[in-house]
């Protein structure tokens, strides 16, 4: 089973490692083994007839998971399937279900020293420097704009007047057959 490991941090600065995987739901997943009747259940699909995927996993605080154990992911999948079956039994009375803790069998390593996270409403490290840098850029652009507007300009040559072409109607062989001939002037 392919899993993904993500390192995360809460707003309070607590480090978490989140391990998750996906599982394509089958009809057998929806049957509670304790109450199985042998009745055929169609493969689970959403309202657009797409297969359903269950995302399941676990989180470990203050420890980094270097290699997730299959047993830990299997325990998380079984917990998620049990909760999903309960949801399908009575969708109208769905509520939040807390999972239980269990000892990890995954390989872990100690996390590095945590980086302080600024509290809400405070200025984070480096922000004054970014603001000062932005002010320098804006000032530089203003200087360039002023320099361009007052810089002496070289005279721009005026393009020569192009000859214009006019058409003149002439009566060459009588009133029934006029001809048009171009003439140009400079």
Average pLDDT over residues 102-120: 74
pTM of the model: 0.54
Q: How many domains does the chain have?
A: 1
Q: Does residue 131 form part of some domain?
A: no
Residue 9 lies in a domain: yes
% the chain with pLDDT above 90: 23
Whether pLDDT at 71 is above 80: yes
Say if 56 falls within a structural domain: yes
In a domain, 95, yes or no: yes
- Residues 1-46 have pLDDT tens digits of 789 999 888 888 888 899 999 999 998 888 876 666 666 678 888 8
**Domain housing 103:** 4-109
In a domain, 15, yes or no: yes
pLDDT in tens, 117-151: 666 655 555 666 666 666 666 666 666 665 555 55
Residue 184 lies in a domain: no
Q: What are the structure tokens assigned to 181, written together?
A: 């001939």
């Amino acid at each position: 089973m392919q899993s993904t490991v993500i390192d995360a941090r809460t707003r309070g600065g607590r480090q978490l490692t989140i391990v998750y995987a996906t599982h394509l739901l089958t009809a057998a997943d929806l049957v509670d083994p304790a109450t199985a009747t042998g009745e055929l259940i169609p493969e689970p699909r959403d309202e657009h007839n797409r297969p359903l995927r269950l995302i399941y996993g676990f989180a470990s605080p203050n420890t980094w998971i270097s290699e997730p154990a299959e047993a830990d992911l299997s325990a998380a999948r079984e917990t998620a399937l049990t909760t999903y079956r309960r949801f399908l039994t009575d969708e109208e009375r769905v509520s939040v279900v807390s999972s239980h803790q269990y000892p990890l069998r995954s390989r872990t390593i100690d996390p590095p020293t945590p980086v302080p996270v600024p509290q809400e409403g405070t200025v984070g490290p480096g922000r004054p420097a970014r603001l000062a840098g932005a002010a320098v850029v804006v000032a530089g652009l203003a200087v360039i704009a002023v320099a361009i507007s007052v810089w002496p300009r070289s005279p721009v040559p005026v393009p020569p007047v192009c000859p214009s072409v006019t058409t003149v109607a002439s009566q060459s062989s009588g009133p029934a057959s006029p001809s048009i001939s171009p003439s140009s002037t400079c």
